Amino acid sequence: MEGAREVVEGTVKSVVFHNEENGYTVLHVEIPSEFELARNPEITVVGKAQAVWEGEDVKAVGEWVVDKVHGRQFKAETLTCIAPRSLKGIERYLASGLIRGVGPVLARRIVETFGEDTMHVLSHQSGRLREVPKLGKTKIEQIRRSWHANETHRENMIFGQTYGISITKMTKIVRRYGPDAVAIVKADPYRLCREIWGIGFATADKIALSVGIDRNSPLRARAAIGHTLETEAEEAGHCWSFENELLMHANELTGIPVEILGEALEAEIAEKRIIAEAASPRRIYLKTYYWSERRTAERVLAILAAPRSFDDFDPERAIRRWERETGFTLAVKQAEALKSSFENKFSVITGGPGVGKTTIIKALVDIYRGKGLEVVLSAPTGRAAKRMSESVGSDARTIHRLLKWNPVTNRFTFSADNPLEGDIFIFDETSMIDVKLAAELLAAIPDGAAVVWVGDTDQLPSVGAGSVLGDLIRSGAVAATKLDIIFRQDVSGLIVRNAHHVNAGEELETRRGESDFYFVRCEDPQTCVKRAIEFMSERIPRKFGMNPLEDVQILTPMRRNVLGTDNLNIEVQKALNPCGDSLVRGGTLFRVGDRVMQLRNNYDKDVYNGDVGFVKAVDSAERSLVVSFDGRPVRYDGGDLDELVLAYATTIHKSQGSEYPAVVIIVHTQHYMMLQRNLLYTAITRGRKLVLLIGVPYAVNRAIETDTVRERRTSLAERLAAGQQM
């Protein structure tokens, strides 16, 4: 009876579909003759199983349903796979590809030799494989290794299934910990959230409580302390937390009494995984952020204190000569910024769009290189580095490629022990540089070099922890010049003007007719989605001659809800790239031609957080794809696909450092909690030729009026100021 809970047992004839991410499986199953279904002994079973092979016996508990497309099938609530018992099942199981080197013919010989004892022999008496006719020593050893490896694999996958860990993540765990992965994880499940990207505290905690770790155990308390600090760094950008607040937040997360958490904190401090700075209340750091902040300060001070590696020259004379040669006259503030950069070992230049930062970088490069000095240009992202190269007319690299990751040593090639070569280092888009990257970067710069940081303090801060650009300025330790006069605008140009209007808390300017800035009022979220897709796929390409895949980017404040990137990317993909070779990973469908973004630094692939590329090839059988990043092909296997997301739409945070010919920005009351002045300002400044706002006027006005940016907890400015006084 349909809808009634039943039990079905049988043998897997074929695996029709298996999703390695969530375990969703479709099987063709043979039913034993004694069942009523013998007249139609093959049925379709759908359910979840982390590891399944042809020939295995299965026990499915669930109900019969009628699928509109596929007809009658058994929908399993639980699907348990066990080793086959029938000779036919064992033979099919061995020949399914489970054991390397064993095909149908050899599988039959093995089963003919051992019969129903075949599985026991392979697991516990593999030396008896010598009894199989025409089986040599090399083949026997290959079968033994493959069989035992797959037994371990099955145990690992079943363990993962039990605790909701996908095959791809379980594969990463095994790759990290080896054949004893399950034992290692059971001993300390919290290692997962510290050491395996993509596994959070909630999953590790679920495993820990399930394997019998006490809710108030020191192990759980110490993990909660570390997780709370990491969460505050990732979500709020803090380098440290006040001790009392840290304990309170860890208590809210776990329910562990504050007294036990306090003891756990002291244990972490004793083992130097956490650093406490004396104050009242104490400032508590994760070790990595403490040393990154401290080393950043030490390197800035060391560069300031060291003599130049090149001879001084008259900056005013050099500037006048450059103006004569180029026919360009600098504004007073631009000349001041340029002179300051020549006179100081470490200097900062800030300002919004159109104020002449690029002109200053070009003048610095021209003048320094005119004196035979080596100038190094760099920026945090590939797009920012490319834009820097194009605007200055000189090669610029990303910071990661400048430092050059060495996969053998698992470190950057250039460091304090092996500094970069160069006399002057100029970095653009420095508001994006977090404290960990700053520490690595500054360590590799020689003491005698001059350093110029160029950025915009009114943009969103770095995604990673810290507020390095702002702290450098606040410290007073480095010379800083802010440019505030707009130069880059034409008669009809509103992008730059509106960016400055937002920054000043003023209303946006719009005008009828031709413009580079438009606002489209739209109240209903679903309609906003449709309008954004319409403008991206049809109206902007038709009116401005732009390629929707290459030139138009949708920006939105959030990932979730109807107007978040997750939903927008699905809908845009349907409109712009509806068919072609594809594969599914964790609910995301990747198709040839898709625009995708990398979510984390992958040094082995030489691809970094925020890099955007296009899917060029898909191999569904191997569950792999190839992505082209600026013409360079990069292969992603199944275990790496969680590092990619569709990028037709991206969050405003993720767009930092990038500039697009056209941006479609969605600003709606659905994003109420995130509406901030610096968010809207950052979004508008991403558009080079065209900015289109879609949304609710009230939401736009709230963003403009809300300038209460949450301060990040950092001590870099204090360290620099204190170092200057020593």
Q: Average of pLDDT values for 99-120?
A: 85
- Residue 330: pLDDT over 80: yes
DSSP conformational letter for 329: P
Q: Residue 596's pLDDT is what? A: 95
**Distance between CA atoms of residues 662 and 26, nearest Å:** 44
Q: Residue 80's pLDDT is what? A: 77
Model pLDDT for residues 578-614, shown as the tens digit of each residue: 988 888 776 788 999 999 999 888 888 888 888 899 9
Model pLDDT for residues 527-548, shown as the tens digit of each residue: 999 999 999 999 999 999 999 9
Percent share of the chain, pLDDT over 90: 52
Residue type, 74: F
Render 103-166 in DSSP notation, one character per residue: -HHHHHHHHHHHGGGHHHHHHH-GGGGGGSTT--HHHHHHHHHHHHHHHHHHHHHHHHHHTT--
Per-residue buried b or exposed e for 547-567, using 16+ beta carbons within 10 Å of the residue's own CB: ebbebbbbbbbbbeeebbbbb
* Strands 346-351, 479-483: pairing kind: parallel
Model pLDDT for residues 299-325, shown as the tens digit of each residue: 999 999 999 988 888 999 999 999 999
Percent share of the chain, pLDDT over 70: 94
Characterise 659 by phi-psi region: left (phi > 0), alpha (psi -120 to 50), beta (else): beta
Confidence of residue 355 (pLDDT cuts 50, 70, 90): confident
**Distance between CA atoms of residues 674 and 666, nearest Å:** 12
Confidence of residue 64 (pLDDT cuts 50, 70, 90): confident
Q: Residue 2's pLDDT is what? A: 44
Are the CB atoms for 160 and 199 separated by under 8 Å?
Answer: no
Average pLDDT, the chain: 88
Confidence of residue 3 (pLDDT cuts 50, 70, 90): very low
3-class secondary-structure state, position 218 = helix
Q: Residue 5's pLDDT is what? A: 77
Model pLDDT for residues 409-448, shown as the tens digit of each residue: 888 999 999 999 999 999 999 999 999 999 999 999 999 9
**Distance between CA atoms of residues 250 and 256, nearest Å:** 8
Q: Average of pLDDT values for 237-259?
A: 95
How many CB atoms sit inside 10 A of residue 53's CB?
A: 18
Model pLDDT for residues 400-414, shown as the tens digit of each residue: 999 998 878 888 999
- Residue 155: pLDDT over 60: yes
- Residue 295: pLDDT over 50: yes
Confidence of residue 39 (pLDDT cuts 50, 70, 90): low
**Distance between CA atoms of residues 64 and 46, nearest Å:** 10
* Strands 687-695, 71-82: pairing kind: unpaired
Q: Average of pLDDT values for 149-178?
A: 74
CA angle 656, 660, 663 (to 5 degrees): 90
Q: Which residues contact 674 (CB under 8 A, 6 or more apart)?
A: 557, 558
Q: Average of pLDDT values for 655-680?
A: 88
Of 568, 579, 576, which is closest to residue 665 (Cα–Cα)? 568
Confidence of residue 1 (pLDDT cuts 50, 70, 90): very low
Per-residue buried b or exposed e for 185-201, using 16+ beta carbons within 10 Å of the residue's own CB: beeebbbbbeebebbeb
CA angle 12, 13, 14 (to 5 degrees): 95
Confidence of residue 58 (pLDDT cuts 50, 70, 90): confident
For the packed helices 287-305 and 435-443, what is the interaxial angle rounded to 10 degrees?
40
How many CB atoms sit inside 10 A of residue 370's CB?
A: 12
- Give the highest mean pLDDT range of 289-293, 495-499, 545-549, 684-688: 289-293
Any idea of the CA torsion for 151, 155, 156, 160, to the nearest 10 degrees? 150
Q: Residue 167's pLDDT is what? A: 65
Confidence of residue 267 (pLDDT cuts 50, 70, 90): very high
Render 590-632 in DSSP notation, one character per residue: EETT-EEEE-S-BTTTTB-TT-EEEEEEEETTTTEEEEEETTE
Are the CB atoms for 489 and 681 separated by under 8 Å?
Answer: no
Model pLDDT for residues 200-234, shown as the tens digit of each residue: 899 899 889 988 899 999 999 999 999 999 999 99
Are the CB atoms for 443 and 338 separated by under 8 Å?
Answer: no
Confidence of residue 163 (pLDDT cuts 50, 70, 90): confident
Half-sphere CA count of 517, side-chain side, radius 13 A: 22
Q: Residue 656's pLDDT is what? A: 84
Going 555 to 556 to 559 to 563, the CA torsion angle's sign is negative
**Distance between CA atoms of residues 49 and 58, nearest Å:** 10
**Distance between CA atoms of residues 87 and 75, nearest Å:** 27
3-class secondary-structure state, position 650 = strand
- Residue 369: pLDDT over 80: yes
Q: Residue 40's pLDDT is what? A: 63
- Residue 161: pLDDT over 70: no
Render 632-694 in DSSP notation, one character per residue: EEEEE-GGGGGGEEE-SEEETTTTTT--EEEEEEEE-GGGGGG--HHHHHHHHTTEEEEEEEE
Instruction: Locate 217 and state its tokens.
Output: 């155990």
- Give the highest mean pLDDT range of 66-80, 135-149, 198-212: 198-212
**Residue 292 main-chain phi, psi, to 5 deg:** -65, -45
Q: For 215-229, 443-457, 701-715, which range has the lowest pLDDT when averaged over its residues?
A: 701-715
Instruction: Locate 410 and state its tokens.
Output: 């698992």
Model pLDDT for residues 202-211, shown as the tens digit of each residue: 989 988 998 8
Confidence of residue 38 (pLDDT cuts 50, 70, 90): very low
**Distance between CA atoms of residues 468 and 299, nearest Å:** 13
3-class secondary-structure state, position 711 = coil
Instruction: Locate 492 and state its tokens.
Output: 């009809």
**Distance between CA atoms of residues 294 and 130, nearest Å:** 64
Q: Which residues contact 631 (CB under 8 A, 6 or more apart)?
A: none
Q: Residue 726's pLDDT is what? A: 55
Q: Residue 360's pLDDT is what? A: 94
